[in-house]
Amino acid sequence: MRTRVRTRYRMPPTAKARIAVLASGQGSNFAAILSAIDAGRISGDVIALLSDKPDSGAVAIARAASMPAWSQRPKDFASRDAFDESLFSELDRIQPELILCAGYMRIIGARFVERWTGRMINLHPSLLPAYPGLHTHARALADGVRVHGASVHFVTPELDGGPVIAQARIDVRGDDTPESLAERLRPREHALLCAVTAAICAGDIGWSDGSVAVRGRAASTPLQLGDDDCLLVDIP
């Protein structure tokens, strides 16, 4: 028998987790994480922002917050592997406990992902395993789905194929466009990423033998984000 439990994850009383954020775009997810930390909802500190777009909004947010920001253009490197080597050498140097891919739009090579197995998560704008890759909102609308959403998953070498930790869902409206769907989903994406990050930093969620563990037990299905921005957990 399974019991549905709504939990607002509490911060541990000890040291805060060291978090690195990878982002390519305007940085709204990054900003949401910073706000949640400032409000005491995440027991962690962002130690650096890393980006493949030096002129991105995410980099501007980091600089405005006087936060270390590593940013390089992939075209300035001889190969994809050379760029990834530089990026992950920086991660090796600063040694975060958790890496958040928050709107990071580059595919990361397998050998770099494997360095951080179980310590890197990604926010993806679909209810995985549906619609991995790009143009998720347009593809969902083309298929006529009634429910759409976002997922946070552990990063593995398979594109958007790692174990799904949690999801947020919204109803699709008859007049939705890819743009309107993305706009309505965005606040739920922010809440989802913050809730999962808080749970990992609190030690309530982790990686265990290739699957998601919730309080030390393997999760059979992804957690769901409730209307109050809490994760809904099934505990046997």
Catalytic machinery residues: 124
Residue 104 vs residues 153, 204, 213, 222: alpha-carbon distances, Å: 14, 25, 25, 22
C-alpha radius of gyration, the chain, whole number: 17
Whole-number Å distance between alpha carbons of 118 and 97: 10
